[in-house]
């Protein structure tokens, strides 16, 4: 990965760090992967809310978001 695309994240919630570490160990998934998945989910949720607000929602898109 290009270093220009990398960002450092500073966590201020120690419980969040602890939870991510536990999930990482439990499912053998790297901490970074969990962060990336969480950000992708968040962005997907924001996209869904924007589409709902604009009343421009495709039912196929909505059902895929609910089932994912």
Residue 45: inside a domain: yes
User: How many domains are contained in the chain?
Assistant: 1
Query: Measuring CA to CA, which residue among 53, 57, 24, 59 is closest to residue 38?
Result: 24
Residue 57: inside a domain: yes
pLDDT digits (tens, 9 = 90+) for 4-57: 777 787 888 899 999 999 999 999 999 999 999 999 999 988 988 888 888 766
Distance CA 54, CA 46 (A): 12
Q: How much is the pLDDT for 65?
A: 67
Residue 62: inside a domain: yes
Average confidence (pLDDT) over 53-66:
70
Residue 48: inside a domain: yes
The pTM of this model reads 0.65
For residue 45, give its domain range.
Answer: 35-68
């Amino acid at each position: 990965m290009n270093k220009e695309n990398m960002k450092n994240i500073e966590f201020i919630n120690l419980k969040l760090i602890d939870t991510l570490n536990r999930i990482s160990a439990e499912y053998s998934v790297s901490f970074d992967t969990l962060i990336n998945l969480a950000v992708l989910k968040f962005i997907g949720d924001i996209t869904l809310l924007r589409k709902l607000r604009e009343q421009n929602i495709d039912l196929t898109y909505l059902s895929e978001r609910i089932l994912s």
